[in-house]
Structure 1
Amino acid sequence: MPNPRIKDEELYEKLREEGASKEKAARIANSAAKEGRDSVGHRGGKAEDYEERTVDELRERAKELDITGYSDMKKDELIDALRNH
């Protein structure tokens, strides 16, 4: 069932399949629907893949996003939590 808050459902689903969090995918999809996909695609910077980050870097990001229990998580658990928050 489509989410009425998502303005570009096709882009949202593609981003989720690529590993973007729900929040990030929604933000990008809605911005693309408003401003056009081309303008949104040229804006962002380059971020490291989660797999390339250290556990300390992943924990810091989890802390920024208010993910609970991050201090006891292993790297794969942190990655999963960050992608699915």
Structure 2
Amino acid sequence: MPADKHGPGIKNPDVYEELRSDGASKEKAARISNAMASEGASKVGRRGGKSPAYEEWTVAELRQRAAELDVEGRSYMRKDRLIDALRNH
């Protein structure tokens, strides 16, 4: 994908696009792809994620995370909409 579609700050656009297609938020995809470009995939892979998938979170936990990210309309969203909003904020 050209840089104008995702921004010039993405250092590894292939990884970024793959993460986005897997459901990662723009922020998370950018953070991981840039870390992989800087530090190498094996080092980033060993670090790994510690948080469970959003599907395993309670609605209260999802709303709290949405509040941290200032997602509008979060108090009216059901679980599936909260997950979608968090992944695509």
Q: Calculate the TM-score normalised by the size of structure 2.
A: 0.87
1:10 aligns with 2:10: no
Question: What percentage of residue pairs aligned between the two structures are identical?
Answer: 62
Aligned length in residues: 85
Where does residue 83 of structure 1 map in the other structure? 87
Task: Please list every run of at least 4 consecutive aligned residues from structure 1 whose deviation after the TM superposition is greater than 3 angstroms.
Answer: none
d(CA) in 2 for partners of 1:61 and 1:74? Answer: 14
1:69 aligns with 2:73: yes
d(CA) in 2 for partners of 1:79 and 1:35? Answer: 29
**What's the RMSD between the two structures over aligned residues?**
1.2
SS at match of 1:42: helix
Q: Calculate the TM-score normalised by the size of structure 1.
A: 0.91
Matched AA of 2:77: M
Matched AA of 2:85: A
Where does residue 48 of structure 1 map in the other structure? 52
d(CA) in 2 for partners of 1:21 and 1:6? Answer: 14
Where does residue 57 of structure 1 map in the other structure? 61
1:29 aligns with 2:28: no
